[in-house]
Each structure stands twice: as structure tokens, then as C-alpha cells.
Structure 1
Amino acid sequence: MFSDETDKDVWVRKEKEKARLLRKTHWWNNRVAPGVCHYCGRNVGREKLTMDHLVPLSRGGRSTKGNIVAACKECNTNKKYLLPVEWDQYLNSLSEKPTDLI
């Protein structure tokens, strides 16, 4: 996708700038108004929600309305660079009971 790291760095900077601009829109204000995290469903209040890319920039995601969700800081931090399917697998692994201890 990129010929070198410099191209990727420039692309990531542009995508982050797009995200900053989206954060100033009515669309984003409507997304955070309920104060609910997209991932865990907790109501943390709009001021504690962060902007998260479903498909992270580091994995080729873009700063578009279809790829950005409101997430609590805890979920956003834990999700890191994971794709949605990987994040779901991680969450499911947390709820599984270890059977090798029985």
C-alpha cells in the first residue's frame, strides 16, 4: 500500500486530521450525546467518550463516519490496534471459564 514509511506517516497524519475535523461536527456531537460506549454499552457520559476507529489507522482504516465510533477510554485503550472480529474474540475469551483447572 505504501512505498515507504514516510508515505505511511503522511497518510496517518492526514487521517488523524480528518478525525479531528469530524470531532467538531454535529454528526460527532450526536454520536456522543447518549454518553454510551459502542463496545461495552456502559453510560459513561459524553465528556468521557473518545473517538475510536473500528478498523485502526495502523491496519488501513480511514477516518470516515462509517469507521468511527464513540468508545469509553477503557475500551479504546484495551482495543488498541485490533480489528472488530479480533476485539470480539478477545472479549469472548474473557468470559470463558478455564476448564483445565477442574
Structure 2
Amino acid sequence: MSDWIDIKSDANHIKRERERARELRNSDWWKNLLAKGECYYCRQHFEADELTMDHIVPVARGGKSTRGNIVPCCKECNNRKKYLTPAEMIIFELEAKERAAAKAAVADGSAEVAEDQIS
């Protein structure tokens, strides 16, 4: 992805927010979210032990461990999202679809595409 938003954080921020996340993990609020069993991103249902705690804006990118920034997330979505914000995740997925479509069009000979669109 070429459009990176550089959100700064520091080691103290990361340490502090990870501690807050540990505290929230033990809260009734978090346990209730897990009991619903729904991944915030794909909306599929999972057992509570198959969901992870995800920061919508990652702590490493300056996000905070607050109820408004923490959601239950399946492992597949969490692995795909990594350090991205949701907006960056959407852009990344759209770019991947565009590249795949361009490669398919070139492969079947139905379109000529500039090399920079498929690499």
C-alpha cells in the first residue's frame, strides 16, 4: 500500500495501553462482547476462545485501549488487519482486487494493462 498514514506512538504509550487492554480483558464489558461471538470485521460468529482483542487504531500507531477502540476480532481478520487502520485495510483490499483483475485481463488477452498496475 502506497498511502501510509504515519501515526506516532512511543514505548511508554505502548506499555501503558497494553496494560489497560489487559485490565479491559477482565471486565464484564469485554466478556459480554466475547459471549456474543461476533467478529467486528467479517460479522461471522465464533466461540469466545476463537476471538481476539483488536484495537481499531493499533496501539503501535497511537491507538488507545478504550471501549471505543477495542473490538472482538476473529484470528483471520486480525492477521489480515495487522497494524492497519480499517480505512487502510479497505484500501489495501481494493488495491489487491484491482491488481488481480488486471492480471486476469492480461492473462486472458482481453486487455492491455501497464506493468505498474499488475505488480
TM-score bracket relative to the smaller structure: 0.7 to 0.9
Per-residue CA deviations over 1:20-71 (Å, capped at 9, x if unaligned) read 0001111101111111111111212111100000000111111010000100
Identity %: 43
Q: CA shift at 1:92, angstroms?
A: 3.5
Letter in 2 for 1:72: C
RMSD after superposition: 2.2
For 1:88, the equivalent position in structure 2 comes to: 90
Runs of 4+ in 1 over 6 A off after TM superposition: none
1:48 aligns to 2:54 (yes or no):
no
**1:1-102, aligned counterparts within 5 Å?**
8-93=10-95, 95=97, 98=101, 99-102=105-108
5+ long unaligned stretches in structure 2: 1-6, 109-119
Letter in 2 for 1:33: A
| Number of equivalences | 98
Q: CA shift at 1:87, angstroms?
A: 1.0
Alpha-carbon distance in structure 2 between the residues aligned to 1:31 and 1:53: 14
Q: Which of the pair has more CA radius of gyration?
A: 2
